[in-house]
Amino acid sequence: MSLLWILSSIVRWVRLKIYQYEVTFAIYMLTSTEKFIFNTLLLTLITGIAIGIYVYLPNHLRTIYGHLWYYYAGERPFMSSRLTSMSSVFGEATPSIDVMYETVKNAAATATEQLGEL
């Protein structure tokens, strides 16, 4: 087998797949501009779905597992807070409710003082 024969068979296979794609979705009868628009929209849709699956599916599966384990064992499964917190993905610590409450309270007090000075 020569390299030229392998390359020509790969090119032939790619052309066949392009032909099947165009015939299946009736793209062969569109103009070049319409094909470009259709393919761009299709690629954008597929990319959005793939990103959504990558971002949201692991947490969704973790939630389903937690429910199934609760129904089976009657208790919540142990899950690390690193796995359940999206902020840990970015390397930030998850603030507690008390810290957030104090921050909001201090901001409200500062705003009240500044309004009182006006």
pLDDT, tens digit (0-9, with 9 covering 90-100), for 39-66: 999 999 999 999 999 999 998 998 888 8
Q: Which of 58, 110, 117, 48 is nearest to 85 (CA)?
A: 58
CA distance 83 to 34: 44
Percent residues over pLDDT 70 in the chain = 81
Longest dimension (CA), the chain: 88
CB 7 within 8 A of CB 1: no
